[in-house]
Structure 1
Amino acid sequence: MQEFYKKALQALIFLLVVDALLAVFFVYQTFPTKTLLPVNKAGSRGHYGTYSDVVTGGGSSVRLHDNSPDRLRFDFKLKELSAYPFVAADLVFDDNKGRPVHQDWSKFGTITFVAKCAPATSMMMEVSIFDEKLSKPGDYATYVPPRTYFSCNEQGMPVTLDLGRLLIPEWWFPARKQDLARQSYKLDRVAKVMFGTSTATPRNIDGYIEISELTLHGRDYRYLAALAVIILGGWVAFGVWFFLAYSRALLASVDSKMKTNLPLVAYRQLTLEPYKDKEKASILRYIASSYTDPKLDLETVVEGTGANRYKINEVLKSELGMTFTSYLNKLRLTEASRLLTEKSNAAVSEIAYLVGYSNVPYFNKLFKEEFGCAPKSFRMLAAQRQQQEQPADSAPSEPLV
């Protein structure tokens, strides 16, 4: 059984390690993240660009502050020379060769960043999404432009925006000849993300906006459900394996124990190897013929054989390697194992009494220590073994007396 427990422990440790690795993987998949800044690092590539109302006759100015890859910052000044003055800067996504690409944001639900600006005001964030029915590749004016607004100040504000609640501006629908009720969009082909001024941004004042730590976040609980199913399946499989392997190991252990115990029975020893020492033979025969007596003890053997206590213990130690108590229990439990196998209708308590135990719980305890299982379990294992060995080719075991 020790070998089985060693294998079971190894299997358990392996299962726990696999579960831990699966948990890390699936939890990571459940909460995916994608860092957009810094650009050209961590799999995110792109370049910055600027826009202003100059193309519509306005006079607002915008200038990228620097070309830092870990932040998008631009200086601006709105001038009221057009009906709707505005400036903006964007991050356009590229591939390794600098060609525009579309990113799939469908598994992300929110976007976070730190926004600094002066003066403190409300600003706009907009994404450009390619629509096969409406958009022309590279012509961002034809892309679907859902947007939202956020606040910022000079100290820097952490911002979290829900990507599922962006709104497409009303002016875009007539420009693209689309129904105003068509507010749905998909985030599977995002070409760029843009930050710009809003109607609340002060005019004729020098200002700036800086965006950093731009990151996408998602949640997909299907991975947790899959993790639960996989872990549950693994533990069920482990439980089935453990039960079957334990049964086989226990059956082999019981069989080995019985084969080991039977030669220790005194009358078999005497039959196979007759003792020249009559005193030794007398001691062993007396114990073998009286072990079913619940009152049998060392003093009883002394009185019944005439040998002293030292001689009795010396005989048992030298011939069998046991003390009187351990040998007596070995005889009784070996006979109990035979009776459990052959007397299938006899109660465990009856068998305990037959082999010399008046205390049934004590008998159960000793039996389990000897054979590794309770008497009832032993009986079932013995029946299972007999079924496996049919047709039997050996005669029933002989009684001890």
Structure 2
Amino acid sequence: MQEFYKKALLALIVLLVADALLAVVLVYLTFPTQTLLPAHPDRARWHFGTYSDVATGGVSTVRLHDASRDRLRFDFKLRDVAAYPFAAADMVLGTDKGRQIHEDWSKFRTVTFVAKCAPATSLMFEVSTFDEDISKPGQFETYRPPRTYFSCNEQGMPVTLDLSRLLVPEWWFPAMKEDLARQGYKLNKVAKIMFGTSTATPRNVDSYVEISELTLHGRDYRYLAALVAIVLGGWIAFGVWFFLAHSRALLASVESKLKTNLPLVAYRQLTLEPYKDKEKASVLRYIASAYTDPKLDMEAVVEGTGANRYKINEVLKSELGMTFTSYLNKLRLSEASRLLTEKSSAAISEIAYLVGYANVPYFNKLFKEEFGCTPKSFRMLASQQQAQPTDSPPSEPPA
């Protein structure tokens, strides 16, 4: 059994380590991130640009101050000439050769960045998403433009925006002849993002906006569900293996213990080899015939055999290497193991009484110490053993 427990402990440690490594990987995949600024050199390239109300008759100005991989900064001044003064900078996804591409952001839920501006104001964040029903590649005015607003100041404010709660502006629907009820949008084909002014942005003031640490954050709980399923499956498999392997190891241990105990049963020994020492034989025969008596003790053996206590102890020590109490328990428990196997309908308490134990809990305790399992488990293991083919020789009949 010790060898089995060592293997079980090793398997448990391996399972715990594997679960820990799997948890690290799947939890990481559950919360994916993608850094947009600073731009990763291996990902799609950002093409920076500007946009203003000049297209609608305004004279507002906007200029990229510093377009790099690290941040987006643009200077602007809104003029009260157009009906809706506007200035913005955008980041268009494309290849090194300038070909426009789309990225799938559907696994991301939020976008975070640090927004710095002077003077402090409210700004607009917009995502251009390709709609297969109405959008034309490269014509951004046909893309759905869900947007939201955020605040910024000269010190720089950390901003977190929920990508699932953006709103498409109402003016876009009549412009595209779309039903106003179709407010939904998808982030599976994102073409560009834009940062621009709002109606709260001051007019006729030299201003600037700087965006940095632009990062997408996602939540994909399918990986957590997979983690729970895999971990649960692993522990169930471990439990099944432990139960089956423990049963096999316990059965082998019981068989070994039974084989060890058989030569110690006096009434079987005496049928094979008679003792020349009559007094010695008398002691062993008496114990073998009276061990089922709950009141049997050393004094009863002395009275029943006529031998003194010293002689009885000498016999048991020299012949069996055991004390009187140990040998008596060994006889009783060996007989109990036989009865548990042969009398499947007998109650545990009945068998305890038959072998000389008036106290059933005490019998259960001694039996478990001897065989490594309870009498009930022993009976179950014995029935399993009988159901399997065996090459063991038949046991000798009792005297």
How many residues in Structure 1 have an aligned counterpart in Structure 2?
399
Query: 1:128·1:190 contact (CA, 8 Å) conserved in 2?
Result: yes
SS in 2 for 1:160: strand
- 2:388 is paired with a residue whose SS is helix
Cα displacement (A) at 1:253 = 2.1
Per the normalisation by structure 1, the TM-score is: 0.87
Kept in 2: contact 1:60–1:85 (CA 8 A): yes
Using the TM superposition, name which of 31-40 and 96-105 deviates more: 96-105
User: Structure 1, unaligned stretches of length 5 or more?
Assistant: none
Q: Which residue of 1 aligns with 2:122?
A: 122
Q: Name the structure 2 match of 1:59.
A: 59
1:308 CA displacement: 5.3
Aligned residue type for 1:76: F
**2:394 counterpart of 1:398:** no
RMSD (Å) for aligned C-alpha atoms: 2.9
Matching of residue 257 in structure 1 with residue 228 in structure 2: no
Shift of 1:176: 3.2
Task: Give the Å deviation of 1:325.
Answer: 2.0
**Alpha carbons 2:268, 2:396 under 8 Å: kept:** no
- Structure 2 residue matching 1:113: 3-state secondary structure: strand
Residue 280 of structure 2 is aligned to residue 290 of structure 1: no
Q: Which amino acid aligns with 1:39?
A: A
SS state of the match for residue 66, structure 2? coil
C-alpha distance in 2 between matches for 1:35 and 1:309: 89
Deviates more, 1:200-209 or 1:230-239: 230-239
Distance 1:37 1:44 in 2: 12
Other-structure match for 1:92: 92
Aligned to 1:368: 368
Distance 1:290 1:89, change over 3 A: same
Residue 147 of structure 1: aligned partner = 147
SS in 2 for 1:109: strand
1:136-179 deviations in Å (ceiling 9; x for gaps): 33333332222111111122222222222222223333443433
- CA-CA distance at 1:68 after TM superposition: 4.3
SS in 2 for 1:228: helix
Letter in 1 for 2:337: S
Checking the alignment, whether the CA contact within 8 Å between 1:39 and 1:47 is kept in structure 2 is no
Specify the alignment match of 2:343 in structure 1: 343
Could you say which residue in structure 2 is the equivalent of 1:385?
A: 385
1:72 aligned counterpart, secondary structure: strand
Q: Which runs of 5+ in 2 are unaligned?
A: none
| Structure 1 residues 68-112: Cα deviation after superposition (integer angstroms, max 9, x where no partner) | 423222222212233322211122224466643211111222222
Q: Which moved more, 1:204-213 or 1:171-180?
A: 171-180
Distance (whole Å) between structure 1 residues aligned to residue 43 and residue 291 of structure 2: 82
Aligned partner of 2:200 in structure 1 is: 200
Shift of 1:397: 5.0
- Equivalent residue for 2:4? 4
Deviation at 1:332, TM superposition (A): 0.9
Q: Which moved more, 1:189-198 or 1:98-107?
A: 98-107
Query: 1:353 — aligned with what?
Result: 353
Q: Which residues in structure 2 correspond to 1:227-266 (within 5 Å)? A: 227-266=227-266
One-letter identity of the residue aligned with 1:190: V
Q: State the identity as a percent.
A: 79
Please name the residue that 1:14 is paired with. 14
